[in-house]
Amino acid sequence: DQQVKQNSPSLSVQEGRISILNCDYTNSMFDYFLWYKKYPAEGPTFLISISSIKDKNEDGRFTVFLNKSAKHLSLHIVPSQPGDSAVYFCAASWGGQGAQKLVFGQGTRLTINP
Amino acid sequence: GAVVSQHPSRVICKSGTSVKIECRSLDFQATTMFWYRQFPKQSLMLMATSNEGSKATYEQGVEKDKFLINHASLTLSTLTVTSAHPEDSSFYICSARAQGGDYGYTFGSGTRLTVV
């Protein structure tokens, strides 16, 4: 049972435009969500997180939106840059920021075209 | 920021042998570390939670006798793949969480294990 789903395995975006990566979850107990960026043969790098008490969190070019009623979150990257090309994973946990276990989505490969 | 070092980055071993992977938190103490496994083009699957000074907690379906975890200090956890088989070939990643700050969970760089 895939509790965190990223239904788009890949996404291609023009440099300078907005990249929108989507993630859906099924477990209503999840209360903390994170986005990670991963290059091949490397560990994931933390990008941004959001608590379920918020609906938006912004950090520079990255913004995460959370729609609890739809059990959906998205990561917006604007403007997109070539260095953003990577695989992006969303992850979820329960128990707040002090929680331990993360459940990952399948990942979305983002390609930024010059 | 919090840094997690994982070693080795790549290892090739023969079937039947054992391989040890180390995960170190370099600038923080981690009472809990996590071991993940990633198959090609798939998600990261949590294998076990490593607890300093006590037994690891394994996820359902993960053989604890095959994947031995030792968390002897606040900065080091090791994963030993025992009697490795080709189907154990995978990308193994550890992570830890630094207390305070919004770093999320910091991951090591991963270990590519190939069993021949």
The separation between CA A108 and the C-alpha centre of its own chain, rounded to angstroms, equals 9
- Give the span between the Cα atoms of A39 and A31, in whole angstroms: 27
Query: What tens digit of pLDDT does each residue of A44-62 get?
Result: 998 999 999 999 999 999 9
Residues A43, B109 contacting (CB under 8 angstroms):
yes
- Amino acid at the residue B74: L
Residue B88: what pLDDT?
96
Query: What tens digit of pLDDT does each residue of B2-48 get?
Result: 789 999 999 999 999 999 999 999 988 888 899 999 987 788 899 99
Residue A97: what pLDDT?
59
Residue B36: what pLDDT?
94
Buried b (16+ CB within 10 A) or exposed e, A15-51: eeeebbbbbbbeeeebbbbbbbbbeeebbbebbbbbe
Query: What tens digit of pLDDT does each residue of B54-110 get?
Result: 889 999 999 999 999 998 888 999 999 999 999 999 999 999 876 655 556 789 999
Residue A41: what pLDDT?
81
Residue from the list B32, B43, B110 with its beta carbon closest to the beta carbon of A100: B32
Residue B27: what pLDDT?
85
Buried b (16+ CB within 10 A) or exposed e, B66-93: ebbbebeebbbbbbebeebeeebbbbbb
Q: What is the mean pLDDT of residues A10-24?
A: 98
- Give the span between the Cα atoms of A111 and B42, in whole angstroms: 18
Residue from the list A42, A100, A104 with its beta carbon closest to the beta carbon of B44: A104
A34, closest residue in chain B (CA to CA): B104
Distance from CA of B82 to the nearest CA of A (A): 23
| Residue A54 neighbours by CB under 8 Å, 6+ apart | A66
- Give the span between the Cα atoms of A46 and B112, in whole angstroms: 20
Residues 12-71 of A with CB under 8 A from B: 34, 36, 41-46, 49
Distance from CA of B42 to the nearest CA of A (A): 5
Percent of chain A with pLDDT over 70: 95
pLDDT band, very low/low/confident/very high, at A2 (cuts 50, 70, 90): confident
CB contact under 8 A, B106 and A46: yes
Look at residues B116, B112, B114, B100 and name the one whose alpha carbon lies nearest to residue B30.
B100
Residue from the list A34, A43, A106 with its beta carbon closest to the beta carbon of B93: A43
Distance from CA of A41 to the nearest CA of B (A): 7
| Residue B40 neighbours by CB under 8 Å, 6+ apart | none
Q: What is the mean pLDDT of residues A3-17?
A: 96
Query: What tens digit of pLDDT does each residue of A58-109 get?
Result: 999 999 999 999 999 999 999 999 999 999 999 998 876 566 678 999 999 9
Residue from the list A43, A89, A97 with its beta carbon closest to the beta carbon of B6: A43
Residue A24: what pLDDT?
98
Residue A78: what pLDDT?
98
Beta strand A56-59 with A108-113 is unpaired
Look at residues B105, B109, B56, B45 and name the one whose alpha carbon lies nearest to residue B78.
B56
Q: Strand, helix or coil at B86?
A: helix
Residue A31: pLDDT over 60: yes
- Give the span between the Cα atoms of A52 and A56, in whole angstroms: 9
Q: Which residues of B touch A36 (CB under 8 A)?
A: 104, 107
Neighbour count for residue A97 (Cβ, 10 Å): 13
- Judged by a CB distance cut-off of 8 A, whether residue A103 touches chain B is yes
